[in-house]
Homo-oligomer: A and B are copies of this chain.
Amino acid sequence: MMRIIEKVTEMQKLMDSLKCRGKTIGLVPTMGALHEGHLYLVKYAVRESEVVVVSIFVNPLQFGQDEDYKKYPRTLNNDSSLCEKEKVDVLFCPSVQELYPVKPLTYIDMMGLTDKLCGKSRAGHFRGVCTVVGKLFNIIKPHNAYFGQKDYQQFIVIKQMVDDLNFNVKLKMCPIVREKDGLALSSRNRYLSPAERKQALCLKEALDKAKYLIRNRKEKKASNVINEMKKVIERQPFSRIDYIEVCDSETLEKITLIKGKALVALAVFIGKTRLIDNDVIS
């Protein structure tokens, strides 16, 4: 039977007692609205960790003022049955009041990594992410934590935080899960109208173009790759590019000349919906 826990202190007690019984604890932190991408993380966690915790919390701190915090999909009942089916042990779903009983003053933030890529257009986003993930790590103290490659920058940022602040947790990155036609799974895909849904394919098409250029055509100039990707995106009337970048896959610094491994990442508005995707190409 899956336990559903809403209280921080109850969670802390349970986790401490499980750890002392020698159980390996795996955490899959999510904002709910679970899809196959999340479930891939859960399956991975279930294979590796003896006790699997899924947290569901739509974290207000990581949304900008004009972003979709209010309309972000909340589907707790459905999420809960999906988790139960996957043999999750504990579903941790605190209220906003429970995680932020008073207006928080403290934050965890980072120099360098957080002002690139998504950080540029989403000021304060990674500060919110680091802060809430730090809180979850303190509450759950997992041995392992699982994140998806779709939020590639998020993974790099959290890895840096874990190393810098001595959180005793191993991070695992799981590959991007896609619809059959290639669209990366995202809770935000449900915002798309049928017409937008079709145009949203351009992100993956642009990444495929980049891969073709880098691998098959031996293109070395990042600017050429980016220009070709732009053309693919701009063919779609509802699209608006937020960024397309080729960067170092660890430091996230922009690359001008591609040699070895490169992260190709992009964020594109399709209508009002901001989608992201990426590929590490070598």
What CA separation (Å) do A16 and B168 show in the bound complex?
11
What is the distance, in angstroms, from A137's C-beta to the closest C-beta of chain B? 8
* Pairwise interchain contact A164-B104, C-beta atoms closer than 8 A: yes
Asked whether, in the complex, the Cβ of A107 is within 8 Å of the Cβ of B110, the reply is: yes
The residue of chain B having its C-beta at the shortest distance from the C-beta of A162 within the complex is: B106
A57 within 8 A of B: no
| A131 and B165 contacting across the interface, CB-CB below 8 Å | yes
Question: How many interface residues does chain A have, given as a range?
Answer: 20 to 34
**Cβ-defined partner of A106 (8 Å) among B99, B141, B160:** B160
Q: Does A167 contact B (CB under 8 A)?
A: yes
Assuming A19-B20, A20-B19, A167-B138, is B106 touching A130 (CB within 8 A)?
A: yes
Q: Kindly state the separation between the CA atoms of A109 and B111 in the bound complex, as whole angstroms.
A: 12
Cβ-defined contact, A135 with B166, below 8 A: yes
B residues less than 8 Å from A20 (CB atoms): 19-20
Q: How far is the CA of A110 from the CA of B107 in the complex (A)?
A: 6
Question: Quick one: closest B residue to A17, CB to CB?
Answer: B20
Over the window 98-130 of chain A, the binary record of Cβ atoms lying under 8 Å from chain B Cβ atoms (1 yes, 0 no) is: 010010111111111100000000000000001
For A9, give the chain B residue with the smallest CB separation: B168
Give the nearest-CB partner of A158 in chain B.
B106
CB within 8 A of A105: which of B102, B138, B160? B160
Say if the beta carbon of A37 comes within 8 Å of chain B.
Answer: no
Interface check A224, CB cutoff 8 A: no
Residue pair B16, A106 in contact (C-beta under 8 Å): no
Measured in the bound complex, the distance between the Cα atoms of B161 and A282 in whole Å is 42
Residue A8, interface by CB 8 Å: yes
Whether a CB of chain B sits under 8 angstroms from the CB of A134 is yes
Contact with B along A55-77 (1 / 0, CB 8 A): 00000000000000000000000
Ordered nearest first, which 8 A-B pairs have the shortest CB separation?
A: A106-B164, A20-B20, A104-B164, A138-B166, A135-B166, A106-B161, A105-B111, A106-B110
